[in-house]
Amino acid sequence: MKETLIRSTIDSANAAKEIGLANNKIIVSCKVSDVQDLIEVYTSLSKRCSYPLHLGLTEAGIGSKGIVSSAVSMGYLLQHGIGDTIRISLTPEPEESRTKEVIVAQELLQTMGIRSFSPLVISCPGCGRTTSTYFQELAGEIQGHLRKAMPDWKKKYNNVEDMTVAVMGCVVNGPGEAREADLGIAAGNKRGHLFVKGRNVAVVPESEMVEALIDWATYIHEHGVDAAVARVDTALAEREATKDRNMLLKEHGDDVNHADEKIVEIRKKVAGN
């Protein structure tokens, strides 16, 4: 079956060329619905013809299943240099917009470092250190704001899509864990700690977190990281941040995830006790 598909695809492209279609007008697609089949079919096509390849896993499914199977199959192929254009096909949830397919495709390319489209929001999973669920809403809200700002930013600033923004669930470890991000915010004690390249630059009330982050992102695009850091008293921000960190450490202790107890449990299990 797969061999028939591959042969038919190549024969059809060759036939189109023979009847006059220019080589640069031909893009070959041979979509299937199984992950392993897709990898096999496109790997074979890439060896047997030189046409540009359009990748797509058809009938990928709904929700996380569709996203995972599309990302894993096309991610594998792209990583091996196979594929020139992609399409993500997802069954939309009721009332869900079709733009999700485009967003997933863009995120696949961006997270693989192939092409950037919009500042990427990285966010931590949250753990025993998280004091409220607000950072979960915050991550989605900030991504939405950044996407909305993109058409305007793209006209004004160079490489704006390469910015990395972190949204972290606690102020104790957040800025350190996300120190590689250009800009980030960590939530805790009903306040947001803004940081640039891991350095605390401001502490703002929860209600101002989104606005403050967008303001900082805009300023960084306009003036650069160094100028953004120089415009504030970082010592004051660090003092405020330390206050919150110390308070949370005092309230919740060093081992909020009960790692020590878990290690003892695991050791007991491994030893068969």
DSSP-derived 3-state class of residue 266: helix
Q: Which of 6, 12, 85 is nearest to 48 (CA)?
A: 6
Q: Which token pair is 46?
A: 């890439």
Please give the Cα distance from 60 to 72 (Å, whole number).
11
10 Cβ contact list (under 8 Å, min separation 6) = 28, 45, 48, 49
Give the nearest distance from C-beta 84 to ligand SF4 in angstroms: 38
Q: Considering only 14-22, 40-48, 168-176, 229-237, which stretch makes contact with ligand SF4 by CB under 6 A?
A: 168-176
Contact flag: residue 170 with ligand SF4 (CB under 6 A):
yes
Q: Which of 56, 174, 184, 192 binds ligand SF4 (CB under 6 A)?
A: 174
Looking only at the bridges linking them, the beta strands covering 164-168 and 85-88 are unpaired
Q: Which of 173, 198, 219, 234 binds ligand SF4 (CB under 6 A)?
A: 173
Q: Which of 87, 120, 124 is nearest to 102 (CA)?
A: 87
Residue with tokens 């060329």: 17
Between residues 56 and 169, which has the closer beta carbon with respect to ligand SF4?
169
Tell me the site size for ligand SF4, rule CB under 6 A: 12
Q: What is the largest CA-CA distance in the chain?
A: 77
Q: Considering only 45-53, 75-83, 165-173, 198-206, which stretch makes contact with ligand SF4 by CB under 6 A?
A: 165-173
Give the nearest distance from C-beta 177 to ligand SF4 in angstroms: 5
- x/- contact string, 177-196, with ligand SF4 (CB under 6 A)? x-------------------
Residues 69 to 128: which contact ligand SF4 by CB under 6 A? 124-127
DSSP-derived 3-state class of residue 88: strand
* Phi, psi (rounded to 5 degrees) for 161: -70, -10
Q: Which token pair is 251?
A: 């309230």
Give the nearest distance from C-beta 247 to ligand SF4 in angstroms: 15
Q: Considering only 8-16, 74-82, 84-92, 171-179, which stretch makes contact with ligand SF4 by CB under 6 A?
A: 171-179
Q: Which of 168, 202, 213, 220 binds ligand SF4 (CB under 6 A)?
A: 168
Positions that interact with ligand SF4 (CB under 6 A) = 124-127, 129-130, 168-170, 173-174, 177
